[in-house]
Amino acid sequence: MPNDLLMGLTRRMIGLLDRHATDLAPDIMYESVDAYTSRRRLEEERAGIFARKPMLIALSADIPAATRTEAR
């Protein structure tokens, strides 16, 4: 992601937090079912999200507390 885009999104997020607001559509928003069932979109998300950086996926109960020294 270009740095200027990242900085703009960060400023926008901080502004929303400061105002206790969210980005909402002005009315009910409808999404095509293809957004959830499209093979092409699945592959784009896998490549754009999951393949770029490692992700920690675990139950929170499996993550040791900061004071625990137990290793599994």
Q: Can you tell me the distance from the alpha carbon of 66 to that of 7, in angstroms, rounded to the nearest whole number?
A: 31
| Tokens found for residue 4 | 């200027």
| Tokens found for residue 7 | 């900085």
Mean pLDDT across 22-50:
89
pLDDT tens digit string along 37-57? 999 999 998 898 888 888 778
pTM across the whole model: 0.41
**What sign for the dihedral angle of Cα 4, 7, 13, 18?**
negative
Domain ranges in the chain are 24-58
Q: Determine contact, residues 6/12, Cβ cutoff 8 Å.
A: no
Mean pLDDT across 2-15:
93
Q: Can you tell me the distance from the alpha carbon of 47 to that of 41, in angstroms, rounded to the nearest whole number?
A: 10
What pLDDT does 8 receive? 95
